[in-house]
Amino acid sequence: MRQIEISPTDSRFSDIGTLNASLKACGDWFFAGWNVRRLYTTEELSNAELFLLCKITTFEPAGEQRGTKYDESKACIQCGAGATQISPLFLDWKRLPKGKDIARTIAGEVVVSRRTTKIFQDYSITGVEFRPLRHSPASSAESKDWFQLTVTSSDTEVVPPTRTGVDPFDNDVPSQYRCPAGHLIGLARLSEAWVSRSSYAGFDAVASRQFLGARRGLLRPERLLLISPRLRRLIAEQQLKGFDFEVAYLK
């Protein structure tokens, strides 16, 4: 296994996609995973109107494995996105990542540290709620160190030129990862995120209306999480850990 670092502007970039497609046709593959690193100038960060919270530290198990319940009748019958959590989030507190302030399960359930909760409350961060985190359905005990983070607004509309697909060389159109009803818009995000200005509620934290991912086993499609410049500055000042961010664009 080897790691290749290459820019999309490199003339050899498209050759990787061609080679991988050729090998996949024979039941093989050229690359097993990919990661995009985007760099911004100070001016670009200063002028950004919105940011995308991404690369959140991920851990197992999912809430369902500990007894968390979902109302699947609320999910889209075509893509499985949108089921509603109807019980407290149950997690094994010992499995939560150490040294992180924000983390997510493999099912996309987001938890934050007590320190993060206090900072958000002290600075009156809008668009978020904090729910108790419990160990199991058999116990009423609640964690004093971790809480579930929920975003109250999920109406932000993802729009072109946002690009989604299977990998940087495969837009996957048509696809099982694109819902005819418009709920699921792809397996993965391949570009920076663009959202409709008119759909942005103006809170410090919002979620997209559409989902990315797949409903498979414990895995659930997830919304994009977007934050205001004010919240990004606060996060940087307080040195909260466990995630990265990219510039997002209002259109």
0.85 exceeded by pTM: yes
Q: Are residues 87 and 207 in the same domain?
A: yes
Segment among 25-39, 68-82, 88-102, 113-127 with least mean pLDDT: 25-39
Q: Which domain holds residue 24?
A: 1-33
Same-domain check for residues 22 and 59: no
**164 and 104, same structural domain?**
yes
Same domain, 137 and 208: yes
In a shared domain, residues 70 and 13: no
- Residue 6: predicted pLDDT: 82
pLDDT tens for each residue of 40-86: 999 999 999 999 999 999 999 999 999 999 999 999 999 999 999 99
Q: Cα(231)–Cα(237) distance, rounded to whole angstroms?
A: 10
Q: Could you tell me if 164 and 145 lie in one domain?
A: yes
Mean pLDDT of 111-125: 98
Are 22 and 46 members of one domain?
A: no
Weakest mean pLDDT among 35-44, 154-163, 201-210: 35-44
What span, in angstroms and rounded, lies between the C-alpha atoms of 196 and 49?
A: 12
Same domain, 104 and 227: yes
Give the residue among 58, 51, 98, 103 at the shortest CA–CA distance from 218.
Answer: 58
In the chain, how many domains are there?
2
Q: What is the mean pLDDT of the chain?
A: 93
The residue among 251, 189, 200, 188 whose CA lies nearest residue 226 is 200
Same-domain status, 27 and 142: no
